[in-house]
C-alpha cells in the first residue's frame, strides 16, 4: 500500500459507547479517517469507568478502544445541541456509526431515514444487539450474553465442565470489524453511484458467524457438538498437551482421507523426545474414531507430561510454547517459538499492519469537550 493513511480526507462521526462501535471507529481512525467521537456530557462513554486499571483518571479499557479520535460532548436532550450535531453531520460527515439501542436516535430527530434523505452521500452504520429488524431488535445485548445466547459458550471448555466465555470481548470486537468491512464496501459503492446508504451489523449475527462450522456440522449429522478443550473434532491431533515444564500446542492437519500421518508435523528432532512415535499411535486411534480424539488422545499422550521440553537449534519447527506469564508488552512475546530458528530465546516483534508502516504509532484518545 502506497499510503499509510488510505482513509485520509474522510470524516467519521461516532456516537458510540462500550466496545463495538468504538472499535470500528478506532480502526477507521488508524486508517487515516478523522473520527469525531460524540459522548454525553454527564460522564461520557461508560467504558471510561471500566477499571481498574486506570490511566490518567480513565480506565485503560477506554484507551484501548478509542485511539486516533477527537472528542465532543452532546446532550441529546438539548434540542440546540442536537441541531449543532445535525449541522456537523450534514456539513462534514462521510460516515456515521452508532451503537445506541434501537430507536434511540429516532426519538431525538436523528433517524437514519431523515439524515440520509438530507445527505444522500452519507454512509450510516447501525451497530445493534439483534439488528434493526425482527422480534428481538428492541432488546439490549452485551458480549457475554451473546456468547451464551448464540451457543459459543457451549463449545468452550472441556466436556463435563461448565461452559466458558472467551476471555476477551470477541463478539464486540468482531462486530466492530464487520462494521468496518460494511462501511468500506458502502464507500466503494458510493464512488460508483455517488450515494451512501444504511448498513446494519449486530452482535447476534457476529456470534452466528463464529458458529459457522458447528452449525454446519449439526445440519450434516444432527449431533450436538461436544467440547474438546483446546482441540477440534475434525482434526487429529490439533490441541495443547501438558509436559513436565509447560503446555505445548501441537497441530498436525490429518484427515480421514490420509493413510499415514505427515512426518513433517513432528520432525525426528522434535522438541519432545519420542513425540513423533506417540503421535503416530494417536493418529491410528484418531482414524478409528475421530470424535473420541479429545479423550483417547489425552490418554495416549499422557506420557508427554513426564518429559521436559528440550530446546534445540532445529529450524522450521512449528511449535508454540504456551505460558501464562508470556508477555505481549511493547509488541514482544516473551519466550515465543515459531516458524524459524528456535532455541535462541530471541524476542519476536508482533507484526505491524501493512497499512501502518514501520514507524506507525497509535493515535491519541479523545477528551470530551474538545472539538
Of 349, 230, 241, 211, the residue nearest 305 (C-alpha): 241
Of 94, 70, 97, 95, the residue nearest 363 (C-alpha): 70
| Residue 154 zone, left/alpha/beta (φ > 0; ψ -120 to 50; rest) | alpha
Tracing cell 475434525 back to the chain, one arrives at: 234
Cβ neighbours, 10 Å, residue 92 = 12
Q: Measured on CA atoms in the order 170, 171, 173, 175, is the torsion positive or negative?
A: positive
The set of catalytic residues is: 172
User: Which residues are 91's β-sheet partners?
Assistant: none
* C-alpha 309: how far from chain center: 31
**Spatial separation of the C-alpha atoms in residues 154 and 163, rounded to whole Å:** 5
Reported as type and span, the H/E element at residue 284 is helix 275-288
Q: Is the separation of the CB atoms in 332 and 313 below 8 Å?
A: no
**Residue 353 DSSP one-character state:** P
Cβ-based neighbours of 307, under 8 Å, separated by 6 or more: 243, 244, 272, 273, 274
Of 228, 246, 237, 244, the residue nearest 303 (C-alpha): 244
Burial of residue 236, with CB atoms counted within 10 A of its CB: 0-12 exposed, 13-18 middle, 19 or more buried: buried
Is beta strand 34-39 parallel, antiparallel or unpaired with respect to 70-73? Answer: parallel
**Spatial separation of the C-alpha atoms in residues 152 and 192, rounded to whole Å:** 39
Of 113, 120, 97, 116, the residue nearest 38 (C-alpha): 97
What DSSP string describes 152-186? Answer: GGGGSSBTTS-----SS-HHHHHHHHHHHHHHHHH
Amino acid at each position: 500500500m502506497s499510503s499509510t493513511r488510505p482513509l485520509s480526507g474522510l470524516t467519521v462521526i461516532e456516537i458510540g459507547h462500550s466496545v463495538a462501535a468504538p472499535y470500528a471507529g478506532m480502526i477507521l481512525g488508524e486508517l487515516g479517517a478523522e473520527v469525531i467521537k460524540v459522548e454525553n456530557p454527564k460522564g461520557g462513554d461508560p467504558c471510561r469507568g471500566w477499571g481498574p486499571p486506570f490511566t490518567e483518571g480513565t480506565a485503560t479499557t477506554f484507551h484501548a478502544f478509542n485511539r486516533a479520535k477527537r472528542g465532543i460532548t452532546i446532550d441529546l436532550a438539548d434540542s440546540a445541541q442536537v441541531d449543532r450535531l445535525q449541522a456537523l453531520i450534514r456539513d462534514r460527515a462521510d460516515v456515521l456509526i452508532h451503537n445506541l439501542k434501537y430507536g434511540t436516535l429516532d426519538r431525538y430527530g436523528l433517524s437514519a431515514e431523515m439524515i440520509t434523505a438530507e445527505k444522500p452521500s452519507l454512509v450510516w452504520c447501525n451497530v445493534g444487539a439483534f439488528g434493526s429488524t425482527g422480534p428481538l431488535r428492541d432488546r439490549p445485548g452485551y458480549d457475554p450474553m451473546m456468547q451464551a445466547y448464540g451457543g459459543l459458550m457451549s463449545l468452550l471448555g472441556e466436556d463435563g465442565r461448565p461452559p466458558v466465555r472467551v476471555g476477551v470481548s470477541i463478539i464486540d470486537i468482531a462486530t466492530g470489524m464487520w462494521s468496518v468491512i460494511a462501511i468500506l464496501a458502502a464507500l466503494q459503492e458510493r464512488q460508483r453511484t455517488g450515494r451512501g446508504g444504511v448498513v446494519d451489523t449486530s452482535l447476534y449475527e457476529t456470534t452466528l458467524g463464529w458458529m459457522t462450522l458447528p452449525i454446519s456440522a449439526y445440519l450434516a449429522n444432527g449431533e450436538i457438538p461436544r467440547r474438546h478443550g483446546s482441540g477440534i473434532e475434525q482434526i487429529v491431533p490439533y490441541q495443547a498437551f501438558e509436559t513436565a515444564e509447560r503446555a505445548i500446542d501441537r497441530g498436525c492437519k490429518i484427515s480421514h482421507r490420509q493413510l499415514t500421518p505427515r512426518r513433517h508435523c513432528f520432525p525426528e528432532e522434535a522438541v519432545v523426545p519420542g513425540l513423533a512415535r506417540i503421535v503416530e499411535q494417536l493418529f491410528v486411534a484418531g482414524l478409528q474414531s475421530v470424535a473420541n480424539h479429545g479423550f483417547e488422545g489425552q490418554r495416549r499422550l499422557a506420557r508427554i507430561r513426564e518429559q521436559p521440553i528440550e530446546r534445540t537449534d532445529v529450524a522450521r519447527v512449528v511449535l508454540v510454547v504456551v505460558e501464562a506469564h508470556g508477555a505481549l508488552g511493547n509488541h514482544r512475546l516473551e519466550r515465543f517459538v515459531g516458524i524459524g530458528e528456535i532455541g535462541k530465546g530471541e524476542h519476536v516483534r508482533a507484526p505491524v499492519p501493512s497499512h501502518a508502516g514501520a514507524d506507525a504509532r497509535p493515535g491519541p484518545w479523545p477528551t470530551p469537550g474538545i472539538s
